[in-house]
Structure 1
């Protein structure tokens, strides 16, 4: 019999072979349901036939067919669609679909923007591309015609010089030689013609080069300028922006391809001196090239390279383990060569510990700019020489100062290095402190120290070794008196409070310029060296500060026993490392501190070794002559107000008058004799003026240096000083030549008299005075 199974109708269980499986239809197909049988089916004799009783009522309408069996695959023809119907994505039919699409689009654009931002610092960045495009365009415009121009110029210069020499030779060849003169003239004509042709070729090469460059420049720069100008004229600012953007796009397109390693010929030689930035890889490569670190070693960057306010590069670096800082300091010359700069532009200093250095590379040669006004010009009150003294800026522009209390110093350098200007920084600081006693000795005999003379209590400006030897005797006596007072007070050394309380213990500055002249003198050189060494070694605690300046303080100029006692060393420009070592000490140049590296343009700069373990490159504060004069005038006012301005030396007549006031009759006679010369000098000038001579000229030219004895006796009598001719002759002993008679007066009488020089010599010898 036939069975009709519906959806979800299980097969009847019977003891047959296997039950029937349930079938699910995916695609219904319309069918006709057969009518139910009117009678029940008969049962077979084997009792194994299953009779299905149907209790379902089948409606007359058709029923959907069951779904197809799961796993059944039906073939679909993808080309079977309506060609006129639009292809519309499903996501466009709902707001959720639009939102999803918008999110995908936003994330994609954001990733693109981030990718673009990361690309810009690389060689593929648009700015880099535009830069390469501009560079390539410029190189194309410049071309290679310049080589021809340079070659033609060189040839023209050589031939022109030869023509000049030939013309000179022909000019000074005498005509008497005949044939040689003619040959010289022909050679001159030939050389001149060749030179003229070379000059014409040079001009033609320049003209061709300019024509080719102008043509290429029009082709390269014409379209961008036209686009920018037309855009601005047609659409204003918007058109200008469009023109600039199109120009930028064009340049970026030209430079879209970066230089590869083979084509970039600049990568091998460009360095810090060519304008490159200082980076960590550059530092590693530089220190390896200078043999400071090994080929496999790297530097530890403590402070990344950066530009300071002066446009110089600075960095703090840690050297590899086992490499001391002094190795980098000694290799300053090699580092400068690797950086592509001058040695004076590189400064390497120890920073904190043995393996850490501070690197400073200035963009330009330091200390070549015009100096700024020194800080002493801004003082409104007296300076304090007990405190720190301003010296000048270092290569970083940081102002350096030192303390000279209980110190002594040595300044050295070649002629023209700036010793006088450097010394002014210390001398002016001492002069502006009214409490400081100035004793100066000018071994040069020039005028460098002359402006300070009115402020000095002792001054030797004639470069006289004998006078300086006597000055040192006075210094040693003063040092002994200072120590006696300190011993009486129970003190070990002079302090500022003690010096303010006792004027005898005020600070004293002994400045010796051009020490070489004094120490190399045959008669007084060894004495001066011994006394100066005694003063430097013992005078510090007594408040005596000694500074010496000389060109090359070698052992033949300054004994090493004296030179080693001078603790402050200032080495200005020197010609050799050995000369620098004589100032800074043996081994300083080998350690990387040599004044030979100072260029001639760096006037006033030097290595100052005053405090710390290493010298520092410093440029002394500069004061011109007008500023020095103004500061000395200010110092004079402050010293006058403080009562420490040295008194001017008394004239001989005033010294004699002072002795006469004390009761010395012979001193009174000498004083009146000198007064007689003074009166006659005025009278002689007045007679000259009455005779028609100009008064200024009379004061310059008319002097009375000899007087008759009778004139002197008459004057003494009028001044109530009765002296006989015999007594006057006994006081003023003359030579036979000085006793000779001379013409005197309008009548021309021949009289015996006394020279002024003999009177002054007799007075100074008799009473121990100074004229």
Structure 2
């Protein structure tokens, strides 16, 4: 104990080891059985020393004036009278070494458990536990782990083990025996009906018959031996599998009657359930139920054989040769390289794409079959999901840091395998077709933007739609027709034919046969020229100019390739009534987007393409921008065009404009109507130019002006030095009665007559043959 002093004066030396003691008055008297001298000699043997309490003073000492002194004195008295506690050992019971294995006479199970209440509690716990076990057993039965299903699986596995694989050998021997027997029969018939006068032929026929007969007899003997071996092995296995259950059931019935029979059946059931305790693996459980890729199963060799047989590509007894085992690629699609049976061409499998898709349980667009290396080898690609339905990745043109190269390969887009496809358009021409909304404009942008980003390419564009899809490219074009006017397009083609003639004249002078990249870089007039015609149908079906346009386009496509002129046409359905077959067959690059019928697809890809398995009808409506591209190789390829939204197209055109400005190939923009009128030099032209300048001066960026009062125009013209009156202006700009109607003007909203801006521009263009 440690003394805690609160006084400033230190305690005496003999108090160092004495603690402050607080006296606690006891509440219970000392036990009567404890002697005053604290000895245990007179204690009975059955007294527990744990309940003996040493004596304590029952009266608190008087506390005088010095409380600290009294407390310390009391502590000394208590410590002096309290003997040191020594371990007490009861004689006999705890004497000597304690045996830890001696658990006394106390039972491990409490005595109350043997009472009626204890037995009732134990019975209740047991009942509830068994009831829960029964409920779990009942819930387990409908599952794969139910005992009935386990017994069924065990019975099936045992029977399959009994049957074994020897039957395959028997069937093979039987097939061989049947074939050789038929051949022996034919050889014997041939020998029988061969005349003896033929001499050596009769002898040879007899020898062949004997040889065939011996081979057939040997085959029959081998078949009988195979059957005997099969039956022997099966009997042995059957004895091992079915012997113990039958013995248990029979012995139980003989020895125990009905109860023994029940015990034998129960033991048989338990053994079968034990054998079938593990369920079949779902992926390897090839039961009679049809499994397919559409159900999420994996592609295996048995599935391929079954699918190709169902599609009538191979016969019922034929199998495929697996060159590359089916595997999943990074896009989660199944791919395999297969060899068809001898005599089956690859085009038969390609034509059966629809049937293969039905056999695999997927959409037609998810299956792709292509020839691989040789005539009988194919590459099968089956996507798990419908391709080209996800968001298109940014096109590669956005990453260009310098001008594009239109002489090289042009990026088109990814195919179904994710491999990026590109084409070369040098000395070629193309046709893009598909139903409305299939993505012709987005697909055409891949080629148009690539041409625009090459400052060396000359652009001639004609928009037969008149909808403004090509309008962003207008300032980059040397010639542009955006009003869907067949007459204007016909005049453009006349001008382009003159350009082609000039190019051939220069090539002849240089002693060259065709335009190359070196020549184009050396002679700017030989640069590549792209003629893009959108909605060709509007031009070729025009009554007055349709045939002329078709004839001139055919001339350009057939002769313009060597002169560096590339022609691309886009239309909805390029049938013979829209594009003459003599022109369509000259367009070497074909891109068929989604079509409603196989015939419409054939009008783009060519006659017989759909029958060969290449039909744009299989393209789903969700696959925007996807189409069959036939540019290189012997077969079309399913490709989705790189997509560029309106903002990206605007950014790329701005980039192309800057690059062309630096290269000095940016065409001069359209001349304003005012400048055209001033260039005429006529008094009336100058007066109309002044009127247009008044309109421009009155307009602001936020408030364009499309109508001005006549008096205001006259005053402004006079102030500019023109001699004009209201009558002269009215005679120069003839208005309709509706246009002469008065309108409010000024702060007071006074109604006055005036001139619309559109009428002034129309008067200028009609009178002098100008363009606004």
1:284 equivalent to 2:305? Answer: yes
Q: 1:276 to 1:682 in 2, by over 3 A?
A: closer
Which residue number in structure 2 is paired with residue 628 of structure 1? Answer: 649
Stretches of structure 1 lacking an aligned partner (at least 5 in a row) = 1-131, 142-251, 660-665, 686-694, 718-722
SS in 2 for 1:439: strand
- Given candidates 673, 681, 684, the residue that maps to 2:687 is 673
Alignment match of 2:632 (pick from 611, 629, 641): 611
Give distance in 2, aligned partners of 1:329 and 1:300. Answer: 17
Matched, 1:596 2:617: yes
Structure 1 equivalent of residue 508 of structure 2: 487
Q: Deviations over 1:654-709 (max 9, x none)?
A: 235456xxxxxx44x35642453245446766xxxxxxxxx667543543678888
Matched residue, 1:360 = 381
**For the Cα contact (< 8 Å) 2:440–2:593, is it kept in 1?**
yes
* CA deviation after TM superposition for structure 1 residue 651, in Å: 1.6
Evaluate the alpha carbon distance shift between residue 707 and residue 546 of structure 1 in structure 2; reply closer, same or farther with a 3 A threshold.
farther
Larger deviation, residues 285-294 vs 591-600:
285-294
Give the deviation of 1:277 after TM superposition. Answer: 2.0
Task: Give matches, 1:387-466, under 5 Å.
Answer: 387-466=408-487
Q: 1:339 to 1:533 in 2, by over 3 A?
A: same
Aligned length: 506
1:358 and 1:264, CA in 2 relative to 1: closer, same or farther beyond 3 A? closer
For the structure 1 residues 706 and 482, does the alpha-carbon distance in structure 2 shift closer, same or farther, using more than 3 Å as the test? farther
Question: Counterpart in 1 of 2:346?
Answer: 325
Q: Is the 8 A contact 2:717 2:724 kept in 1?
A: no
- CA spacing shift, 1:484–1:764, aligned 2, 3 Å: farther
Partner Cα separation in structure 1 for residue 638 and residue 696 of structure 2: 59
Would you say the 8 A contact 2:708–2:755 is kept in 1? no
In structure 2, distance between residues paired with 1:322 and 1:475: 52
| Cα offset, 1:353, TM superposition | 0.9
Cα separation, 2, equivalents of 1:701 and 1:330: 62
Alignment partner of 1:301 is 2:322? yes
Query: Aligned to 2:293, which of 244, 263, 272?
Result: 272
1:733 to partner: Cα distance: 7.1
Q: 1:328 to 1:702 in 2, by over 3 A?
A: same
Which segment drifts farther, 478-487 or 367-376? 478-487
Change in Cα spacing, 1:679 to 1:510, as seen in structure 2 (3 Å) is closer
3-state DSSP of counterpart to 2:666? coil
Task: Check whether the contact 1:134–1:255 (CA below 8 A) recurs between aligned residues.
Answer: no
Give the drift of 1:360: 0.9
Following the alignment from structure 1 to structure 2, what is the Cα–Cα distance between the partners of residues 445 and 684? 31
CA distance in 1, matches of 2:531, 2:639: 23
Moved more, 632-641 or 470-479: 470-479
**Structure 2 vs 1, CA of residues 139 and 507 (structure 1 numbering), >3 Å: closer, same or farther?**
farther
Partner in structure 2 of residue 136 of structure 1: 144
Alignment of 1:487-506 (within 5 A): 487-506=508-527
* 1:703 equivalent in alignment to 2:703: no
Distance 2:320 2:740 in 1: 94
CA distance in 1, matches of 2:465, 2:346: 41
Alignment of 1:520-599 (within 5 A): 520-599=541-620
1:512 equivalent in structure 2 = 533
Q: Which residue of 2 aligns with 1:157?
A: none
Q: Deviations over 1:390-443 (max 9, x none)?
A: 001111110000001111111111111111111111111111111111111111
Does 2:768 match 1:770?
Answer: no
> How far is the alpha carbon of 1:566 from its aligned partner?
0.8
The alpha-carbon distance between structure 1 residues 527 and 410, as it changes in their structure 2 partners (threshold 3 A), is same
Change (3 A) 1:755 1:326: closer
Match of 2:186 in 1: none
**2-structure distance, mates of 1:646, 1:613:** 40
1:707-740 deviations in whole A, cap 9, x for unaligned?
A: 88897577446xxxxx899xx989x9787999x9
Summarize the Cα distance change of 1:768–1:565 in structure 2 as closer, same or farther, 3 Å threshold: same
Deviation for aligned residue 1:281: 2.2
Map 1:105-184 → 2, pairs under 5 A? 136-137=144-145
Unmatched tracts of structure 2, length 5 or more: 1-139, 150-272, 747-751
8 Å CA contact 2:698–2:705 kept in 1: the answer is no
- Equivalent of 2:404, from 374, 383, 389? 383
2:277 to 256, 273, 283: 256
- Give the 3 Å change call, closer, same or farther, for CA 464–270 of structure 1 in structure 2: same
Change (3 A) 1:627 1:330: same
Contact 1:450 1:461 in 2 (8 A): yes
SS of residue in 1 equivalent to 2:498:
helix
Q: 1:267–1:754: structure 2 CA closer, same or farther, 3 Å change rule?
A: closer
Q: Which of 345, 354, 360 is matched with 1:339 structurally? A: 360
- Counterparts of 1:624 and 1:757, CA distance in 2: 33
| In structure 2, distance between residues paired with 1:286 and 1:139 | 36
Q: C-alpha deviations, 1:29-64, integer Å up to 9, x for none?
A: xxxxxxxxxxxxxxxxxxxxxxxxxxxxxxxxxxxx
Contact 1:133 1:255 in 2 (8 A): no
Match of 1:370 in 2: 391
Q: Does 1:654 align with 2:675?
A: yes
1:195-252 CA-to-partner distances (Å, cap 9, x unmatched) read xxxxxxxxxxxxxxxxxxxxxxxxxxxxxxxxxxxxxxxxxxxxxxxxxxxxxxxxx9
Moved more, 606-615 or 410-419: 410-419
3-state SS of 1:703 partner: strand
| CA distance in structure 2 between the aligned counterparts of 1:305 and 1:282, rounded to whole angstroms | 11
Report the secondary structure of 2:478's partner residue. strand
Taking structure 1 as reference, are residues 534 and 361 closer, same or farther at Cα in structure 2, changes over 3 Å only?
same
Give the match for residue 122 of structure 1: none
Q: 1:563 Cα shift?
A: 1.0
Does the 8 Å contact 2:366/2:383 carry over to 1? yes
Q: What pairs up with 1:228-243 in 2 under 5 angstroms?
A: none
8 Å Cα contact 1:681-1:703 kept in structure 2: yes
**2:242 corresponds to which residue?**
none
Structure 1 residue aligned with 2:265: none
SS at match of 1:349: strand
State the distance in 2 between where 1:536 and 1:724 align: 55
1:475 maps to what in 2?
Answer: 496
Deviation at 1:770, TM superposition (A): 3.4
State the Cα distance separating 1:299 from its structure 2 match. Answer: 1.4
CA shift at 1:447, angstroms? 2.5
User: Are the aligned partners of 1:405 and 1:545 in contact in 2 as well (CA < 8 Å)?
Assistant: yes
Whether the aligned pair in 1 keeps the contact of 2:707 and 2:757 (CA below 8 Å) is no
How far 1:492 sits from its partner (Å)?
A: 1.2
Equivalent position SS for 1:136: coil
8 Å Cα contact 2:327-2:335 kept in structure 1: yes
Q: Assess, with a 3 A threshold, how the Cα gap between structure 1 residues 139 and 705 changes in structure 2: closer, same or farther.
A: farther
SS at match of 2:708: coil
Shift of 1:475: 1.5
Pairwise CA RMSD? 4.0
